[in-house]
Structure 1
Amino acid sequence: MVKKEPETIRYTEKVGYASGDLACNLIYQTVTTYLLFFYTDVFGISAAAAGVMFLIVRVIDAINDPIVGLLVDRTNSKWGRFRPYLLFGAIPFAVLAILCFTTPGFSGIGKLIYAYITYIALSVTYTCINVPYGALTSAITRNNDQVVSLTSVRMLFANIGGLIVSFGVPLLADALSNTTGKTDSGWQLTMAIMGIVGAALLLFCFFNTKERVQVTDALTGKIKFTDVFEQFNVNRPLIILCIFFIIIFGVNSIVNSVGIYYVTYNIGKPELVKWYGLLGSLPAIILMPLIPILNKWLGKKMLLRLSLLCSIIGTLSLLVIPTTMVSLILMARFIASVGGLIAGGFMWALIPETIDYGEYKTGKRMSGLIYAMIGFFFKFGMALGGIVPGLVMQSFGYVANQTQTATALHGILLTTTVIPAIFLLLALIDIHFYKLDEKEHERIVAALNTKGE
């Protein structure tokens, strides 16, 4: 069944693998961050129509994830099960992203139809790349230390991509718009650059990774969608991890969306928004390479517990720091980000061991389907995190583009501090029940390897 992999994965392969996440961030994060603005302010689609479209695309995403996961698990090619999707998806992914930022001279309804077709096609293509890309970790190695190392490099590259998108894309779009004299051309050229670089990185990922954990058709050919329910019945670590993903992505979504309100209205310094946002991802440049060391020193559960506690402390500090003490606020933001980034980065390293556990319990290795399940749950977390801030702030009387009442400011503060802290506390409780420790995972891997001999 399984071909034993070497103890150490070369750093060039780790960089090759991580390049795939950098590619996805350069293309898809640019889309998710700026496409709504492009549609409403450049292409000329109404905000209401664009909002409905985004909701419909999210629903299609939720349906599409398990279908793609099942397809991936049934794939068998000379390039492996997961890498072919990177090879054949790279160029269509880039082309569709460019088309999303293209402004053909259609009428109002024609523009909307064009936007629907290109955005849905892009989202489906992204899923066809992202699900097998995530599952590729479990095929590169079963070694837990190597999985953690792979994931830490991947998260480092992902956060670098996030920084480029946050700071580089607006600057590039403005520069190209000024050069061409047209805002639409500036955005199209910007997306063309992101798309070409992203496609090249996906191909680099394909050529520099290897699927070592080879699984026979007997373990994948019989996989069907209803096996999801079997996994939920026997794979308790996966259930715990799915809940963890919902909570962490919910927290991230709340913190990221409400930060601009907190800085603009509570602190009263909208010019600090970009720096407040930067502190949300910049620590990753330092932290991600340290995760394998911290994991060996503390162990997975202690590392997650301390990370979550760090994030809770930093988040609740904002509740008591006066809004005039900007330096302390930014320091608290940094502390909260340190904990959140470590927990958010490390949780991806736990997915391959839940795949091993599921195979051990059911005799079926469902890498693609399990990653698709994780994708469904973290998208649910993002949706939850997107709904909560609006409901809370509205209930406290927030009104856009005006001086806020003391009650509204209090609502923004609670949404920035107490609500994320409650979610983080729930994550701390949830991870307590994750019982798949290092020794148990080693025993399971040994048993799987023995079956394959």
Structure 2
Amino acid sequence: MSNISNKYNSAKTWQIGLFALNNTATNVIMCAMMYLAVFSQNILGIAAVVIGVAITSMRIFDGITDPIIGYLIDKTETKFGKYRPFMLIGNIILLITVYLIFGFVPTLEQSMRFPVLMGIYVVYVIGYTCQTACTKAAQAALTNDPKQRPLFSLFDAIYNAILFSVSALIVTSILPPMFAEGYESGMLNPEMWKTMAIIFGLGSFILTVLAIIGISGRDKKEFYSVGSKAVQVKFKDYWPIIKSNRAIQMLVIAAATDKLAGNLASAAKIYLFGNVLMNVALQGEMGVITTPVTIVITIIGVRYASKLGQKKAFVAGTWLSMLMLFAMLIIQPFDNVSMTSINLNTILFLSITILQGAFMGISGNIVIPMIADCADYEASRTGKFVPGMMGTLFSFVDKLISSLSSTLLGIGLAIIGMANAVIVPNTPADTKFFWLIMGCMYIIPIFGHIASLVAMKFYPLTAEKMVDVQEKLAKIKSEEETA
């Protein structure tokens, strides 16, 4: 008879560290796609509102693929494991489709660009779902130790801090001068975007290979099942999860509202730097300072989560991020911000921006291991270990809500009369454009945080509750072994 107290399947730290690169790999692609609205409007000649509405509408298709992929993951057992085949296939689809979007579509006749772009985007969605679903689903197999699960957030936050600063540096500072000849800005040269797609695609593939190595030792049946008995997974199992699992309900609301606001801010960030601060290159230059500060704050946040639970870390990060957003709106230190001429506004803008991003990173990065908690909670309730379904159920609602960011930005630009304008970097924003940027960057994210805090009031998986969940799962396995 196994010892029930020995209820944790702990992973090696290097396995967690390498597997976290799977999320980084998809985030590399996401970093490229964050510029889709700008690219479409300035290069393809397609209004931002049209792209925004089209991409949001595409989420209906995306919503169909999520449960299908989750179902297939939970049903899959191969000699290469459950997750690795989906990770590899998904990433290959991503790097091909991203290159086609940024490298091939601009070569088409104007009338063909929009329909071809949408066709490629359909395939892109399938690849993205395959790989991102594994990031969430494999968490439960990676480790069930509550002291270890926040480690994923630590690695993920460090990788993302480096990625977001480096990617912004590449797109706003490194590539534009290389492609500026004959253009007002290198960002108006189609060749710059094709080069970006190649760099980001290859980077994503390398990270995916490393993540596959990381999960290989845990991608085995003994780590992704409650016991030895096979669980029959059916599509009808989704409804009981939606109806009865309060944890995933509240986590979806909290994370999706934050992600909607975060995506909107990310999409508008290039306008903040290029049309408010009048220094588009500053977006990339800030990464030199942002990255180490984010890493330090994340380490503190992960230690907090390991001791007091992931829920408390999420709530603390959200509160602190919201305070920074309020501070930026009140102070508005946007005049004469420069890395070469340090003044009070520069210090205030950099400090608030860096701290807000780091605090938001704590709550944002800890969501993925919280999904694993929800999967374990479901297994303790029903005996069904369905991390694929849990992860893609989360993704379905999360992406459906967060996809509205493209539409909101496009509608905002249309309302102020800039739907079809070529928005040249380093040209000043008028009053309407300024307040649209403020709304996207600070006001809407505040409301997103408020919604998250309300949802967390009803999220049941405290640190104490997760101890009970793991004890119950250990008891189920023990009873199977002695039966």
Q: 2:128, 2:267 → 1: CA distance?
A: 23
TM, length-normalised to structure 2: 0.79
What do residues 283-328 of structure 1 show as CA deviations (whole Å, max 9, x unaligned)? 4333333433122344434333332221122111123325455232
Give the partner amino acid of 2:299: P
- The 3 A distance-change label for structure 1 pair 220 and 62 is farther
**Are the counterparts in 2 of residues 90 and 203 from structure 1 also a CA contact under 8 Å?**
no
Matched, 1:194 2:214: no
Give 3-state SS (helix, strand or coil) of 1:231's partner: helix
Give 3-state SS (helix, strand or coil) of 1:145's partner: coil
Aligned to 1:21: 23
Give the partner amino acid of 1:436: L
Matched, 1:85 2:95: no
Matched, 1:144 2:146: yes
Give the partner amino acid of 2:224: Q
Give 3-state SS (helix, strand or coil) of 2:103's partner: coil
User: Which structure 2 segments of 5+ residues have no match?
Assistant: 336-343
Give the partner amino acid of 1:355: A
Aligned with 1:308 (options 312, 318, 340): 318
- The 3 A distance-change label for structure 1 pair 125 and 421 is closer
Aligned to 2:383: 363
User: Which structure 1 segments of 5+ residues have no match?
Assistant: none
Give the partner amino acid of 2:90: G
Aligned to 1:228: 238
Aligned to 1:205: 211
**Are the counterparts in 1 of residues 28 and 204 from structure 2 also a CA contact under 8 Å?**
yes
What do residues 32-51 of structure 1 show as CA deviations (whole Å, max 9, x unaligned)? 12344444544565656645
Aligned to 1:158: 160
- The 3 A distance-change label for structure 1 pair 51 and 220 is farther
- Range 361-370 or range 329-338, more displaced: 329-338
Matched, 1:321 2:341: no
Shift of 1:81: 1.6
Shift of 1:144: 1.5
**Are the counterparts in 2 of residues 393 and 415 from structure 1 also a CA contact under 8 Å?**
no
- Range 115-124 or range 239-248, more displaced: 115-124
Aligned to 1:287: 297
After TM superposition, list the pairs within 5 Å mapping 1:219-298 onto structure 2.
222-259=232-269, 269-271=278-280, 274=283, 278=287, 283-298=293-308
- Range 271-280 or range 365-374, more displaced: 271-280
What do residues 396-425 of structure 1 show as CA deviations (whole Å, max 9, x unaligned)? x787877644x8766765665454333323
Shift of 1:68: 1.1
Aligned to 1:95: 96
Matched, 1:61 2:32: no
Shift of 1:160: 2.2
**Are the counterparts in 2 of residues 97 and 191 from structure 1 also a CA contact under 8 Å?**
yes
- The 3 A distance-change label for structure 1 pair 5 and 299 is closer
Q: 1:199, 1:368 → 2: CA distance?
A: 22
Percent same amino acid at aligned positions? 19
Give 3-state SS (helix, strand or coil) of 1:208's partner: helix
- Range 10-19 or range 267-276, more displaced: 267-276
Aligned to 1:74: 75
**Are the counterparts in 2 of residues 355 and 367 from structure 1 also a CA contact under 8 Å?**
yes
Aligned pair count reads: 448
| Alignment root-mean-square deviation, CA | 3.7
Shift of 1:131: 0.7
Aligned with 1:123 (options 122, 125, 143): 125
